[in-house]
Amino acid sequence: MMFTPRTRPPRFRPAEPAAAGGYFWRNEERPVMTAFRMPAEWSEHEGCLMAWPVREDLWGSVLDDVKEEYANVARAIAAFEPVTMVAPPGHGEDARTRCGDGITVVELAQDDSWFRDSAPLFVLDGDGNRAGVDFRFNAWGRKHSPYDSDDRVSALLLEHLGVERVPPP
């Protein structure tokens, strides 16, 4: 599977919709326009990304039960495809112990376990090369704090995985 503190991203500019259903992007570091498309949910993929729950202020007295359920879900998915669990620094061993040997645990700063909205969105260019769109994350209009690590986790994960980072338009 191809998956630092955020530095200023290269400048990407949307140009026009691509004929194949994606969008063209011009990157100052990549002098030609690039069309990216997002594969469908049901398209073949290489694995599943999950984030480990750790916030007692959100989960309260059920946090231990929640961790067990996350581990159960990770093991169920791992029976069919690789699973990478992102855990905040200092929580990786807990995730490894609960999830078991079949799960890859990566320690990266994150605030919450809602990875659907804070993880990168993976896209493909016309040659099938993968990139990750790193959208800004503000905890649904600043409803939960802190969220600064969740806003940075996409860039950290993309760097860890060696995947090109595409900032949002």
Ramachandran region, residue 40 (left: φ > 0; alpha: ψ -120 to 50; beta: rest): beta
DSSP assignment of 72-94 = HHHHHHHTTS-EEEEE-TT-HHH
pTM: 0.77
Top-confidence residue, 166 or 14: 166
Spell out the domains of the chain, with CATH numbers in brackets.
Answer: 1-169 (3.75.10.10)
Cβ partners under 8 Å of residue 32, min gap 6: 26
Helical (H) or strand (E) element with 158: helix 148-161
104-135 tens-digit pLDDT: 999 999 988 888 888 998 999 888 899 999 98
67-107 tens-digit pLDDT: 999 999 999 999 999 999 999 999 999 999 999 999 999 99
